[in-house]
């Protein structure tokens, strides 16, 4: 048992490290590319890796709920787009913390859509998490902006994607579910690029951006490493949840936040102020409490 827990913790530790590093790569790429392009190229690599895996080992589950599979793809793509846009505009640690509000939103969506009970501890955790969001976004000051709101909306959409997965995981192979998300993340950006050629107002730059072919070996190397680290992070995450108790892994998953703050600082982000640090702490606490509730 201890050996299994240790193995799962190690897997999750490195999954968090790679995921934060992946966010840092996205922030570096944002100097040369829009968030939409980053999502597009990241998913192209992902689709390739998933198709190779499916060719090697065919799925055995029957499928049969294509509507929810499509919704999972749409929710996942939009959440990723908002997440990467947020990364390009605000400190990496704040962006990833706002994205980690998704467990709180999962509880809310599961209550309304799946009729799952929400305990008093769960309700308390939602209030704690909301207070943490307030401290990070500072809505009554001058620091809050569209990136913070989109970061929070990305957490909500990620929760919607996770909730959808819970409805279809018994009928679709996990690789097929991931492929629906990554395939959507290739097709929709392509369509948005076409729209942006004739209509791309600056206020909609988070979703409409013209396609500009990446130039330079450095940019292509960053894109390649981003695809590799994203895929490896997902593999380690799967191994972690397969190796030990999901509750323990959920706790360790928040290791991504200090890694993100570290990488963000190395890239020039300001170190979080005391309000942001307290807000981060409250969101982590809420995420841990909601898993118990």
- pLDDT over 90 (residue 160): no
pLDDT the model gives residue 1: 42
Half-sphere exposure of 62 (CA within 13 A, CB side): 2
Q: How confident is the model at residue 145 (pLDDT cuts 50, 70, 90)?
A: confident
Chain segment 187-226, per-residue pLDDT in tens: 999 999 999 999 989 888 888 899 988 888 999 999 988 8
pLDDT the model gives residue 144: 62
The residue ranges of every structural domain in the chain are 2-292
What rounded mean pLDDT belongs to the chain?
83
- pTM more than 0.75: yes
| Closest C-alpha among 278, 194, 209, 288 to residue 246 | 288
Average pLDDT (28-41) is: 91
Whether the CA torsion 227, 228, 230, 235 is positive or negative: it is positive
Q: Which residues contact 256 (CB under 8 A, 6 or more apart)?
A: 16, 17, 19, 20, 96, 100
**Phi and psi dihedrals of 31, rounded to 5?**
-70, -25
71/4: higher pLDDT: 71
Region of poorest pLDDT, from 26-30, 125-129, 152-156, 186-190:
125-129
């Amino acid at each position: 048992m201890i050996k299994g827990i240790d193995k799962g913790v190690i897997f999750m530790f490195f999954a968090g490290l790679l995921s934060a590093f992946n966010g840092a790569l996205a922030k570096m790429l944002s100097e040369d590319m829009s968030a939409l392009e980053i999502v597009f190229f990241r998913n192209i690599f992902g689709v390739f890796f998933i198709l190779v895996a499916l060719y090697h080992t065919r799925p055995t589950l029957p499928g049969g709920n294509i509507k929810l599979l499509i919704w999972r793809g749409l929710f996942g793509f939009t959440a990723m787009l908002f997440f990467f846009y947020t990364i390009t505009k605000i400190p990496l640690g704040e962006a990833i913390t706002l994205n980690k509000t998704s467990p709180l939103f999962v509880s809310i969506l599961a209550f309304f859509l799946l009729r799952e009970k929400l305990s008093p501890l769960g309700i308390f955790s939602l209030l704690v998490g909301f207070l943490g969001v307030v401290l990070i976004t500072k809505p009554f000051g001058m620091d809050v902006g569209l990136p913070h709101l989109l970061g929070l909306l990305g957490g909500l959409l990620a929760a919607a994607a996770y909730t959808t997965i819970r409805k279809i995981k018994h009928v679709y192979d996990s690789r097929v579910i991931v492929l629906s998300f990554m395939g959507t993340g290739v097709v929709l950006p392509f369509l948005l690029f076409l729209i942006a050629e004739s209509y791309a107002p600056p206020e909609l730059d988070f979703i409409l951006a013209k396609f500009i072919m990446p130039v330079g070996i450095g940019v292509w190397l960053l894109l390649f490493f981003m695809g590799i680290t994203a895929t490896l992070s997902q593999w380690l995450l799967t191994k972690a949840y397969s190796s030990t108790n999901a509750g323990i892994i959920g706790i360790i998953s928040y290791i991504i936040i200090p890694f993100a703050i570290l990488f963000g600082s190395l890239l020039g982000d300001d170190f979080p102020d005391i309000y942001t640090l307290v807000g981060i702490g409250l969101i982590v606490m809420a995420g841990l409490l909601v898993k118990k509730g």
